[in-house]
With several copies, the nearest count.
Chain A
């Protein structure tokens, strides 16, 4: 399986204005469609966008990161980009409150993308909460490569499952879990993961969601041959690699752990290289 590697850092990233085409509530989230123009051509599933929030006189000085849910080159608006935003704190709530026609300042595409296989493989896509957002765009691409695409989505409650009708068409199967049982099966996406992996001969897992979920998946599949590409979510001050706030402990080829920037060496990472047990700690000093 070949993975696309970026030449220089964020070599396709641009800073530009975008116009809100629509902003709709979908369950607990907002589906925000942006008119962004030609930059969509550079966006790959897994990339994210960094958005300035709060307007000109905002006390919020940092951008907010959102996974690019899907892009369309030839929508009626020219290039458009879809985001699925949870109204969490003041920045995301501001975004969710933007009326149609608002202009915002974006930097995109940022970060690494999911590796796309050159051969038809069996892929399992696992999303937690709004983590499902980039997975539908990914599913579309995998389908064009003739992959078999199964999907598991999980959330605490049904309103936090994001699974648009159109999206469902790109997957061969979709299974939903909620912790309170209000939608799909009661439980978590990891419930019968190993069985699913075995029964469906899964080659690659693509995941996006809370760190706890990514860690659990990594641990479950560590005894298998399955490749686990996960999109991580660490607090980011800059999103472009200059501040060193977003680091994760990652093992390199020689077995040494280093603190890697999840904004430029992620968000998509090989789950098996992340030292999940060291997240929030400092590894022993090497050398």
Chain B
């Protein structure tokens, strides 16, 4: 069996030739990976979450390997939105890559400011709003853990950015009721959802007998969290079947990507897998194409959410 498969997908009004994207924070701004494959060959480059000002991030150590996973605590180190828009976006567009810009803020106002700067940039496919950041105006409570704050961030971005650019709200799995948060941000104007950000974790260094990471806690990513990602995507797709999902969490093979797609993802970001294998994205993309073809799907879209079908029921 080797049927050609239409791999194209959409998130809101943005079209992508294939559903395999980088994950924010796991591809920097793309340059580093371009040594290993042409960036235009994959669905999109989702850039590292950028804030309004340059940031140093968290102290080192910033990572710990864990069984089938890793913790990171980067703390959103980055050049700030102005430098990013001046240097990184034009370069990516030159490569003919699709660009999804991820933004992060410490206040609702900061998100809106970032959105305002993005509005004037042409060539960007979508904006991913990373709301897994501590809200400095509310005791550092992560936006994504607070239904109201999540909604207000997206509302602010939507109002600022207008109707053109699709908004993908990126949610944290560390909540009691994920569908509730999802519904809130969709009501506030998100066109799509990105699921999942990392799971909060910690490693204690048994030599120093203290938390290993400079930031103490960190985000767990990699294959270890794949079952959590599949569950989150399945739950949210069941609750909001019309809302496209950019799925992610532990994907390192075409089978993994297929699993997330069956659960309800319209596209799949690959994060940690690129650390172990710089050409992971193209490998995953080819494997996915073969699986879809072998399973008899003529288009990727037919497979999205297929695990939810009711047979003879």
Residue from the list B60, B77, B279 in contact with A235, Cβ < 8 A: B60
Once A247-B62, A264-B32 are accepted as A-B contacts, the answer to whether A240 and B57 lie under 8 Å apart by CB is no
Closest to B79 in A: A258
Task: Flag the segment in B23-31, B175-183, B193-201, B294-302 that touches A.
Answer: B23-31
Residue from the list A11, A240, A243, A282 in contact with B59, Cβ < 8 A: A282
Whether B276 sits at the interface, judged by CB under 8 Å, is: yes
Closest to A243 in B: B275
Structural contact, A8 and B74, CB atoms closer than 8 A: no
Mask, A138-175, CB within 8 Å of B = 1, is 00000000000000000000000000000000000000
Q: In whole Å, how far is B94's beta carbon from the nearest beta carbon of chain A?
A: 13
Chain B residues near A238: list those with CB within 8 A. 274-275, 278
Whether B222 sits at the interface, judged by CB under 8 Å, is: yes
Chain B residues near A62: list those with CB within 8 A. 65, 70, 275-276
Structural contact, A285 and B55, CB atoms closer than 8 A: yes
Chain B residues near A259: list those with CB within 8 A. 56-57, 77
Whether A244 sits at the interface, judged by CB under 8 Å, is: yes
Mask, B204-217, CB within 8 Å of A = 1, is 00000000001000
Chain A residues near B72: list those with CB within 8 A. 237, 243, 245
Structural contact, B32 and A237, CB atoms closer than 8 A: no
User: Measured between alpha carbons, how far is A27 from B216 in the docked complex, in Å?
Assistant: 37
Once A62-B70, A285-B56, A287-B53 are accepted as A-B contacts, the answer to whether A242 and B27 lie under 8 Å apart by CB is yes
User: Measured between alpha carbons, how far is A15 from B222 in the docked complex, in Å?
Assistant: 21
Closest to A259 in B: B56
Whether B132 sits at the interface, judged by CB under 8 Å, is: no
Count of chain A to chain B residue pairs whose CB atoms are closer than 8 Å in the complex: 123
Once A15-B279, A259-B77, A280-B60 are accepted as A-B contacts, the answer to whether A9 and B31 lie under 8 Å apart by CB is yes
Residue from the list B34, B36, B60, B278 in contact with A247, Cβ < 8 A: B60
Chain B residues near A285: list those with CB within 8 A. 53-56
Interface residues of chain B: helix, strand, loop or mixed (majority): loop
Chain B residues near A15: list those with CB within 8 A. 36, 277-279
Whether B17 sits at the interface, judged by CB under 8 Å, is: no
Chain B interface size range? 35 or more
Interface residues of B in 50-73 (CB under 8 A from A): 53-63, 65, 67-70, 72
Whether B312 sits at the interface, judged by CB under 8 Å, is: no
Whether A88 sits at the interface, judged by CB under 8 Å, is: no
Structural contact, A242 and B70, CB atoms closer than 8 A: no
Closest to B214 in A: A280
Whether A55 sits at the interface, judged by CB under 8 Å, is: no
Structural contact, B28 and A234, CB atoms closer than 8 A: no
Whether A60 sits at the interface, judged by CB under 8 Å, is: yes
Structural contact, A61 and B65, CB atoms closer than 8 A: yes
Structural contact, B276 and A244, CB atoms closer than 8 A: no
Structural contact, B28 and A242, CB atoms closer than 8 A: yes
Mask, A254-279, CB within 8 Å of B = 1, is 00001100001000000000000001
Residues of chain B touching chain A, judged by Cβ–Cβ distance below 8 Å, are: 25-28, 31-36, 48, 53-63, 65, 67-70, 72, 74-75, 77, 80, 214, 222-223, 252, 272-279
Residues of chain A touching chain B, judged by Cβ–Cβ distance below 8 Å, are: 8-11, 13, 15, 52, 59-63, 105, 107, 234-235, 237-248, 258-259, 264, 279-283, 285-287
Please, could you name 25 A-B residue pairs with CB atoms under 8 Å apart, sorted by A?
A8-B35, A9-B31, A9-B32, A10-B35, A11-B35, A59-B67, A61-B65, A61-B222, A61-B223, A61-B252, A62-B276, A63-B276, A234-B60, A235-B61, A242-B32, A243-B63, A244-B62, A245-B62, A245-B74, A246-B60, A246-B62, A247-B60, A282-B56, A282-B58, A287-B54
